[in-house]
Structure 1
């Protein structure tokens, strides 16, 4: 009798001890899935940022780097817990439809036009006007490589062609359906032009030999936002862990870490989180 009571007591004690252990695992040694753009990974930014967050919180971040469209789709389907992207109109729609909550500004960089060093289309003659630069590419029938993957970069590029009212045709326009790093490699191989974020370009510059032919147009500003997947839509979403990442990336410490990331000594992402938001 006493042995049976003792066994029940030990079983109950073990069950009680498991509760705080489970809760700690959810808050600490957990895996948080984040969809993001290829630019944040190809540039090396996430490899620079995340180890510090993981060390401080015990939360491991699993990164899925795709175009912004695909990143938001993964979040919409509940396949990830948080998303870091750069297409404000799409981000706002994602939140308005109830798939994401607590969107916050994180940082910005800029887009640039790059191409062969000799600049056969004479894009540099357009100064800082991206539409005039693209017009020269169209008029000279120069080859242009497009992401073609519904990424933030692709959406920006398509917006430029729409504003211009023209785009390269036939074999002069290649829709690659690839990430930014791969498109830069293609542009180098084909001696073509492409639109890229500055960070990825700098990370691949030595490998591709491509040159910046146009930069500085305000229309090429490129802001990033981070959004938690709405747990009301997907009960399995790790909302608390997602918010810890969001809070960290927008905190003074996280913002300073973003600011200190450089490529060849050059700052490429500029923190712009608003305090208290």
Structure 2
């Protein structure tokens, strides 16, 4: 049954409105990032487009320039210095290192664990799956105090050893995201018939060769989808990074430092927040073909 023309128009308009509703905060965030302070803190009205765009906020947060230098270059008389405290290049690099490291560790463990759960029958298998899922339900703040003590005792704080600080943050992010990665990968692997494994082993392949050369290429879309989600969860995590590190400041922790006793630096917050979205978009664009396939894998049966 075909949908009538008025219903199609109504559906399209509704879809546009819903998408616009969800995209408006991102639009406003990006718009604020190019506003001068006079437009951001205008007490008389909400300033949408009645301002001269400026890249002061990006220059300070992403290039390490001072606000006074940027104001002189662009003819905007803000006359405020002290931009060094807002230089976020190091934080962006630290977030990329930690997020990519955590994603790599998570996916290596998740792929092997999911394959074992999907293909091998063992006692307590269903209970184990419920236990894995239950780990995702536990809020990080519930284990924060003992976790800080454990990290300090084990020498995984960045104040003791910077390299171990990076490793410790990667490990806790990996543990935090491992349950959802395992469950996602298991659902993708379940859609690959076990007959494929059996046929490969009959032809002389070992279990590992079957896994590496036959099964993995068939679920690369699922791996891409899971990796994107793990990366985004790691990139946006705030609480664990705040309490487990001191010298290492990921982007969410760095943004928090822009809230000072003298006021909130909304321009810098918006600029760094907008820039922080870009790595996730790049990651998604690089794997978009496999991501779409991975997210729809198993939704239809042939």
TM-score by length of 2: 0.28
Of Structure 1 and Structure 2, the greater helix share is in: 2
Of Structure 1 and Structure 2, the greater strand share is in: 1
